[in-house]
Amino acid sequence: MSRVARNNYNIAFISLSSICVALGLSTLFLHWPVVTGEASVSIILFAIFLMQIRSAVVPPPGSGKKVADRHPERLKTLERIPGLSQCESLLFVGFNDLSVRKWPPFFEQMGFRRVVILEAWKQNVEMIREMEKYEVIEGDVRQADDYFQSESFDLVMWWHGPEHVPFEQLGVTFDKLKKIARRYIIVGCPWGRYGRRAFGGNSFEVHHSHLDTAFFEDMGFETATIGRRNKHGSHITAWWTGQPLPSA
């Protein structure tokens, strides 16, 4: 369920429940002759029932089955990248309310000593700051070289973000990220055509590009895919290797 749909359902359920509670309490304590005490209690119980239905119908952010099923499979493609566990610093591009469930466990598992998040939408930036766990920079990945010096991070990870940038701007953007990354750039994105409009007031969520493995391979990336091209849920993992790892 999208955030917009979830918010609309929440508003509807909470509004109706509040009306029922107000009506029930009013008739119970004001002794309205039209409604008996038993009916007042029934109205309040109905409001409670509505909130229980809401819990079943409206899942919390990040709890959808599609996210739970696909995310581990996508992360498993990272096992093909040798030496990834030796990276100590991470620049993570793009972090929204769904990322709160998905990424902190991965960051901890990898044991990064430094995690910096680059996020363009102010509301998400404020959410990350409230977490008090990661350094966050409010900015656009297309101007990444304005925020970071060359070879600032062992790993730059841009997971399901390139599709949000116009295609003609991607080449230059990746050139900038290659300067910032010391060892690896890891990218995730839909495989082929997968449209999305802005939602929740966040225009950065729009999909502008529809990418294929050839695009990344032409820039020196290796790739792995999940699903079928142009099908919902399909995925590309692409990785670029910069400096060689130190000898053991």
Specify the higher pLDDT residue, 188 or 32: 188
How much is the mean pLDDT over the chain?
Answer: 81
Q: Is 228 helix (H, G, I), strand (E, B) or coil?
A: coil
Structural domain including 217 reads 65-241
Nearest by Cα to 210 from 227, 186, 229:
229
Lowest-pLDDT range, 71-80, 177-186, 230-239?
Answer: 71-80
Specify the higher pLDDT residue, 6 or 200: 200
pLDDT for 203 equals: 75
Q: Does residue 69 carry a pLDDT above 70?
A: no
Number of domains in the chain: 2
Please report whether residue 12 resides in a domain. yes
Same domain, 27 and 132: no
Q: Note whether 183 and 241 are within 8 A (CB).
A: yes
Tens digit of each residue's pLDDT (9 = 90 or more) over 174-197: 999 999 999 999 999 999 987 777
Q: Does residue 36 carry a pLDDT above 90?
A: no
Same domain, 221 and 136: yes
pLDDT over 90 percentage in the chain: 53
Please report whether residue 75 resides in a domain. yes
Same domain, 102 and 209: yes
Same domain, 10 and 102: no
In CATH, what number is assigned to the domain containing residue 217? 3.40.50.150
Same domain, 196 and 96: yes
Tens digit of each residue's pLDDT (9 = 90 or more) over 139-148: 999 999 999 9
Tens digit of each residue's pLDDT (9 = 90 or more) over 148-176: 999 999 999 999 999 999 999 999 999 99
Specify the higher pLDDT residue, 119 or 45: 119
Same domain, 25 and 147: no
Q: How far apart are CA 91 and CA 117, in angstroms?
A: 6
Q: Is 93 helix (H, G, I), strand (E, B) or coil?
A: strand
Same domain, 45 and 139: no
Please report whether residue 78 resides in a domain. yes
